[in-house]
Amino acid sequence: MTRVLVALGGNAIQPARAAGTWPEAVRRMRRTARGLARIVAQGHELVVTHGNGPQVGNLVREAEIAAAEVPALPMFVADAESEGEIGFLVAQELSAALARVRVPRTVVPLVCRTEVDPRDPAFRAPSKPVGRFYRAAEARRRRATRGWILREDRARGGWRRLVPSPRPRRWLEAPAVRAALDLGLGRACVFVVTGGGGVPVVRRKDGSWQGVDAVIDKDRAAALVARALGCALLVIVTDVPGAAVGFDRSDRRWLRDVPAAELRRYLRAGEFGAGSMGPKVEAVLDFVARGGDEAVITDLASLARALDGRAGTRVRSSSDRSARSSPGRAARRILRRRRQSRLTPR
Binding site for ligand ADP (CB under 6 A): 9-11, 51, 238-240, 243-244, 247, 271-273, 276-277
- CB-CB neighbours of 248 under 10 Å: 8
The entry of ligand ADP, Mg ion, none that residue 244 binds, CB within 5 to 8 Å by partner kind: ligand ADP
The interface mask with Mg ion, positions 291-320, x = CB under 5 A, is ------------------------------
**205 in catalytic set:** no
The catalytic residue among 57, 197, 280, 312 is 280
Note if 280 is an active site residue: yes
Contact 114, 216 (CB under 8 A): yes
Could you confirm whether 207 is annotated as catalytic?
A: no
Q: Apex CA 218: angle with CA 241 and CA 201, to 5°?
A: 180
10 binds Mg ion (CB under 5 A): yes
- Which position's Cβ is nearest ligand ADP? 9
Give which of Mg ion, ligand ADP, none residue 296 binds (C-beta under 5 to 8 Å, depending on kind).
none
Q: Among this protein's residues, is 52 annotated catalytic?
A: no
* Strands 128-134 and 158-163, sheet pairing: antiparallel
Contact (Cβ atoms closer than 8 angstroms) between residue 2 and residue 340: yes
In order of 7, 122, 139, 147, 242, the CA distances from 154 in angstroms are 32, 23, 14, 22, 31
Q: How far apart are CB 212 and ligand ADP at their closest, in Å?
A: 22
Question: Active site residue: 51, 131, 196, 218, which one?
Answer: 218
| Nearer to ligand ADP among residue 51 and residue 186 (C-beta) | 51
Considering beta carbons, is residue 16 or 68 the nearer one to ligand ADP?
16
Report whether 49 contacts 276 (CB < 8 A). no
Pairing of strands 233-238, 294-299: parallel
Q: Which residues form the interface with Mg ion (CB under 5 A)?
A: 10
Catalytic residue positions?
10-11, 128, 218, 280
